[in-house]
Structure 1
């Protein structure tokens, strides 16, 4: 009986977390799609790459360092130059200095801009949604299994 209860609780938690992740992914994707639909386009140039290094300690006690490279993009609107740092970093760098990239910006506030590529725009909702797609059915299976064990 205790195993059934444990499966039910763990399954419920997994399922709930999965559903929350799916909702968050949908909200991020809708927000991003809304921004891109109303945004103006410009050609930008990668002006530089900013390195951000994080240090973590693993369960084995070893320190691990991870460096991600974030492109800084410059673009011009109505003769005025704008620059922004992408919120998406990668290792190895996804862009090179001097590379031309498409930019989407808010026409009312050109300083609110993003790289207008599929991966830059939708990587976060894909990762969060992917986790939700994994967690939700695992939670549902554990929950149903727990309920069946409890009935027996």
Structure 2
């Protein structure tokens, strides 16, 4: 019988998506680790919080708004001031204006800087890795069930 073919195909697609996400995770983690390994460290100060509001409509037709706060950080290297906005935002805000934060920056280009905490540095790889594990696991299980069903 051909009852297992759709399950096998769906499982294979899920597993493939999971493997792609795990590959993206490795690339993101390697890039971040490489940056942090060669980066210089200093202390910065949160000089502002920029809100970004997204609007979505749920299945009931209600509009939902969510605001995420992105810190702007200023730091000094060799007497020169640099400023950057973090690519990681939070709701509620993870930092307060005036708060000190660890900063990692490229010594050849101090304008290339990031907040040097685990979550700021590795949030993207953690998310893609988690999704990759879920997709690959579900895909593998569904694939195996489909193959077994096809053999019957």
Q: Same fold judged by TM-score > 0.5? A: yes
Q: Distance in 2 between matches of 1:63 and 1:97?
A: 30
Partner of 1:57: 57
The DSSP-based 3-state class of the residue aligned with 2:19 is: helix
Q: Distance in 1 between matches of 2:95 and 2:54?
A: 20
Partner of 1:45: 45
Structure 1 stretches lacking a partner, 5+ long? none
Q: Distance in 2 between matches of 1:101 and 1:16?
A: 39
TM-score (norm 2): 0.97
Q: Distance in 2 between matches of 1:63 and 1:98?
A: 34
Extract structure 1 runs of 4+ deviating beyond 6 A. none
Q: Distance in 2 between matches of 1:71 and 1:3?
A: 53
Structure 1 segment 74-85 matched on structure 2, within 5 A: 74-85=74-85
Q: Distance in 2 between matches of 1:75 and 1:2?
A: 64
Q: Distance in 2 between matches of 1:137 and 1:115?
A: 33
1:68 lines up with 2:60 in the alignment: no
1:28 lines up with 2:28 in the alignment: yes
The DSSP-based 3-state class of the residue aligned with 1:3 is: coil
